[in-house]
Structure 1
Amino acid sequence: MKLLVAASLLGLATVPAFAQVSTATTGSLTAADAGVAPRAGVSATDYVKLAADSDLYEIQSSRLAATKAQRKDVKDFAKEVISDHSATSKSLMAALRNDDRSITRPSTSLSADKAAKLTLLRKAPRDQFDNLYLQQQAEAHQEAWALHKGYATDGTDPALKQVASTAVPVIERHLTHAKQLLPAGLAGAAH
């Protein structure tokens, strides 16, 4: 009996990684929970550009929050965002290496709208910084969820679809956490 259990466990361990993708990697929030619908029909090139811009903004704004935030829980959240989005960025860049197609590496500069949000955050009075950061993170993670959830659902590039599927639960965790950290009156303002 022990040999049979060990053999069946070994069999499970040899299932190819792509076959192990389950609903656990596509997240658990509905569009109503996230407050936004998944984006449909995004091209692989646009997905890469938008995902990289999202990660870059979330990392840069969270680096600022890690030093400027007043509350320890906000600083801890910022550190979590930096760590997790550094990992999703690495996964995205790794997925670009593919002999079957060519996708241009995304810009290392923020888009105009994300740069404007970062500027607003830099200029925020110290006593308003935490709430503004959390509101921006909730909104940014809603946008990211729509992008990644949509691409995980109907994306055409298998490697990028895997990146999107893996990112969705991370983004859901951040979105939920940011909303929980916001004062009750402001949580509803983050759509």
Structure 2
Amino acid sequence: MTLIEQTQKKDLIIIAVIHSDVPESTRKTIYADYFRPFVTELESFIERKVCVVFAGGEPYCNFDYKGEDVTGTLQRWQTLGYKLLHEMNEEGLNTEVYSALTKIILVTRDKLNDAHAGVALNWSSNRAGQFAIASLTGYQVVGHEMGHLLGAKHEDSEVQFNGWIADTYMAPTNDKFKANTYTFSHANRQNIKSYLADKD
């Protein structure tokens, strides 16, 4: 008899820093409204658990995210994010600071500017980063920016029909005349699975 050794896949850890400008009334349902649909979708096909850890405190929760230079903003957020990861590890989070399975997202009430509801720091078209900023201006924005951090792409998004025309998570723009599926297209599911395939 041959025994096949099965290894447990590591959890995907999302550290969500809630900005101080997010109202208390929104905070009460922020997981259910903005994270649960995305987590449920991910766990349906990545074969690993997704853990969302909420964090805060200064200087993280009052980070100055608004402005036209989104690249500079993301670089400043990355520097601050690494500091947060080190602090959380010292407090017992026990995750690798530079792990591709640890993502940090700043969740804000407002857009960064008129053109950007959220942004993600990626190194190249096929190498995702660890840091993103997502506003609560649409229920899909958190999932969209997290999708970027997991290798999903705009060009692989789809328009589907679920009683109404609806966009998948990676639609490049938010069309107010379309609904949202809160799912990834088949192609983006494959992109995410490929990204995660060698991360254990």
Q: Who wins on radius of gyration, i.e. which is larger?
A: 1
TM-score in same-fold range (> 0.5) = no
Q: Highest relative contact order (Cα 8 Å, sep 6+), 1 or 2?
A: 1
TM-score by length of structure 2 reads: 0.26
Higher strand share: 2
